[in-house]
A and B are shown apart, each in its own frame.
Chain A
């Protein structure tokens, strides 16, 4: 397979295109540069899903090649990044299907479904009120303006257990429906609810302690 340059130093202009819809008649090379500028993001998402560097690299490579090959199908309704995310979704699902169901994954899932650790955010007695958090986040949307915030989001996602991270990003980044996610991960709807709850509670706590309640960050 043809390898695209891994370390492309994207110009500011190119970076600006990546997050925007392309106006009609945009140069193909600009599109390609915009797509390559999305590579680090795509790789992060692929790593959250696959937890395997080589496999993730391959899937991102396939995504970019497929995007370049199907450029005529990009209608400018979404941003380049969103369009690439949709292609990545299909490539990731293919990779997960090709990979034999891992017995390690299956036993790890048992642990992820046990919410004993998440329960520790609450008092063990009485009305089971919150013991740790949630703290005041001020104006959290201001964090979106900082690139480092998304590095922290990525860090927190990578720290989630495998199936939890997969279910959460399938739902929130790939915007898949519950039924579809359950089928791809071979889990029940009740399992899905537990994984999503675990993901949200853990991400909330991770961003709280590493970003929002870090005096040096804000």
Chain B
């Protein structure tokens, strides 16, 4: 099982590159049990949408 720091690093990495199957599975099982990291995932995505919105 991966930790929250590891999970958030994978969340960020996954926004810039495709994660390996192993990493995707590890991340998915962590997110399933961790509401805080799910929230972080949403907030990271929100940051991306915000930047797109800013330049539009």
- Chain B residue nearest in CB terms to A41: B54
Interface size on B, residues (CB 8 A): 30
Q: Does B23 contact A (CB under 8 A)?
A: no
**Cα–Cα, bound, A129→B3 (Å):** 7
Chain B residue numbers with a CB within 8 Å of A200 are 12, 15, 44, 47
| A197 close to chain B: CB less than 8 A | yes
Q: How many residues of A contact B (CB 8 A)?
A: 38
* In the complex, chain B residues 39-56 whose Cβ is within 8 Å of any chain A Cβ: 39-40, 42-44, 46-56
Q: Which residues of A contact B (CB under 8 A)?
A: 19, 41, 79, 81-82, 85, 119, 122, 127-130, 133-137, 140-141, 143-144, 150, 153, 169, 171-173, 178, 192-193, 196-197, 200-201, 203-204, 207-208
- A selection of 17 A-B contacts at a CB cut-off of 8 Å is A81-B56, A85-B55, A119-B5, A122-B4, A122-B5, A129-B34, A130-B36, A137-B43, A141-B46, A141-B49, A143-B50, A144-B53, A150-B54, A153-B54, A171-B16, A173-B51, A193-B12
